[in-house]
Amino acid sequence: MTTAKPVGILKRNETTISLFADCLVVGIYVLVVSAPLVTAFAGLTAGCALLRARTRHTGSISPAAFLHQLAEVFRSSRSMMVISGLLAILVGMDLLALLSGLGAHPVLTAPFAIVVSLALVLALRTAAAWRRGKPWLATAKDVFGIMVRDARGSLLLLGAIFTAFSLTFLTPGSAVVCLGPLVLAAVVVDARASAIRDVVHRP
């Protein structure tokens, strides 16, 4: 009786540390795939699928598993990936414009920051909500609906995004560490949204 409790605590701690290590590895995968920008959303979606399988103990965190998930995402809709890539490039150009001097004008900065924040939350929630075989349009429609019903989850995800961007801005090298936990946060918020949908649709 006296040894069972410490052993249980050690096992839980080991599981937590293992999950954190796995999410860091997935973050590196996503970062590498996102380098060209046009593949950023596909990499993010694949990372969410990989970590979701990991939390359910139904998959491995290996380069082959990630590439398999990435191929599934690309096969789902090539046009969606092109649109997402163009949006990523547009946001990147806008951020460069802000950093080059527009950031000194709060009238322009505040609305832009709000729009970009909402777009990032929507992108993360959509990436985490996508399932193989489900159309992207239906996924985005579900995400729009759940963002209203699960405003707290969206705020939590917004906080995670703000923290990740702040750390990356202060220390650019920390992007390697921040991206994985951000993907995990999207997966956790999606699990929360799924629980809310189950309650809403329960007879």
Per-residue pLDDT of the chain (203 residues; tens, 9 = 90+): 444 454 444 345 446 678 788 889 999 999 999 887 778 888 999 999 999 988 887 778 899 999 999 999 888 876 666 667 776 777 677 667 666 665 556 666 677 777 778 888 888 999 999 988 888 888 888 888 888 888 889 999 999 988 988 888 888 888 888 889 999 999 999 988 877 665 555 55
| pLDDT given for residue 201 in this prediction | 53
**DSSP string spanning 89-156?**
HHHHHHHHHHHTTGGG-HHHHHHHHHHHHHHHHHHHHHHHH--TTS-HHHHHHHHHHHHHHTHHHHHH
d(CA 120, CA 171) in angstroms, rounded, equals 21
Give the pLDDT score at 8: 46
The range of the structural domain enclosing residue 65 comes to 4-200
Question: How many CA within 13 A on the CB side of residue 200?
Answer: 10
Q: How far apart are CA 72 and CA 186, in angstroms?
A: 19
What is the reported pLDDT for 190? 92
pLDDT at 98: 64
Report the C-alpha gap between 159 and 167 in whole angstroms: 12
Q: How far apart are CA 168 and CA 172, in angstroms?
A: 4
Which three-class secondary structure state does DSSP give residue 192? Answer: helix
pLDDT for 64: 93
Question: What confidence score (pLDDT) does residue 202 get?
Answer: 54
Type of residue numbered 97? A
Report how many domains make up the chain.
1
